[in-house]
Chains A and B, each alone.
Chain A
Amino acid sequence: KAGVTQTPRYLIKTRGQQVTLSCSPISGHRSVSWYQQTPGQGLQFLFEYFSETQRNKGNFPGRFSGRQFSNSRSEMNVSTLELGDSALYLCASSTGSGAFFGQGTRLTVV
């Protein structure tokens, strides 16, 4: 089985722009979660989707949004980028036995 695939791997954006990140979960996994990792705040939960519905949301501003498609692939969007949004964004697909993470998208906002 292929693992969780995140694209792109690296991204450089300018303040004020918006960005869309993509995540393809492991085949058959219907739950997809997103996390932000920064040196200062560590790993923080953004949101989780299951069968195209957002089931859980973390404490992030409305600039962070996501969606899930019928094939379970997910995207997250960040609008009006700020320097503080620079981070490693990780996607995970899960079953009841644990979460499987992609390699992440390294976003740098300049």
Chain B
Amino acid sequence: SQQGEEDPQALSIQEGENATMNCSYKTSINNLQWYRQNSGRGLVHLILIRSNEREKHSGRLRVTLDTSKKSSSLLITASRAADTASYFCATDSSNTGKLIFGQGTTLQVKP
């Protein structure tokens, strides 16, 4: 399997703190994407970073990509209770809609 690894598996923080999740993958990629999933529902696309990009921002989200280390990180700043969810990274190596997902990080933000 080409599935990547995410760490930590679980993260618990207080509202207002920052949350950082890391993702490592095994093969070369075209892009890497981050998704959020609430309680076993559908996944919500958060951000896509292409292989030639190093950093990308979207609101309170900051994603970095290091292709030499085959790793990415997702930073959520000033977290809110509503950010409580599972977060997954997914790699796209073929631009054909096939995504390889990591195991996910479960984030709990305490009010």
Partner-B contacts on A (CB < 8 A): 4, 31-33, 35, 37, 42-45, 48, 50, 55-56, 58-59, 88, 90, 92, 94, 96-104, 106
Contact check, A55 vs B97: say whether CB atoms are below 8 A apart: yes
CB < 8 Å neighbour of B88 from A32, A43, A98? A43
CA distance A36 to B90 in the complex (A): 14
28 A-B pairs in the complex with CB atoms less than 8 angstroms apart: A42-B101, A42-B102, A42-B103, A43-B90, A43-B101, A44-B101, A45-B98, A48-B96, A50-B97, A56-B94, A56-B96, A56-B97, A59-B1, A88-B40, A92-B97, A92-B99, A94-B97, A96-B95, A98-B33, A99-B43, A99-B90, A99-B97, A100-B45, A101-B42, A101-B43, A101-B45, A103-B41, A104-B41
Q: A42-B104, A90-B43, A103-B42 are in contact. Are A48 and B88 (CB under 8 A)?
A: no
Main secondary structure of the interface of A (DSSP, over half): strand
CB < 8 Å neighbour of A33 from B40, B48, B97? B97
With A48-B96, A55-B97, A106-B40 known, 17 other A-B pairs at CB within 8 A are A31-B96, A33-B98, A33-B99, A35-B101, A42-B3, A43-B88, A45-B99, A45-B100, A56-B94, A56-B96, A88-B40, A90-B42, A97-B48, A98-B45, A99-B43, A99-B99, A104-B42
CA distance A43 to B102 in the complex (A): 8
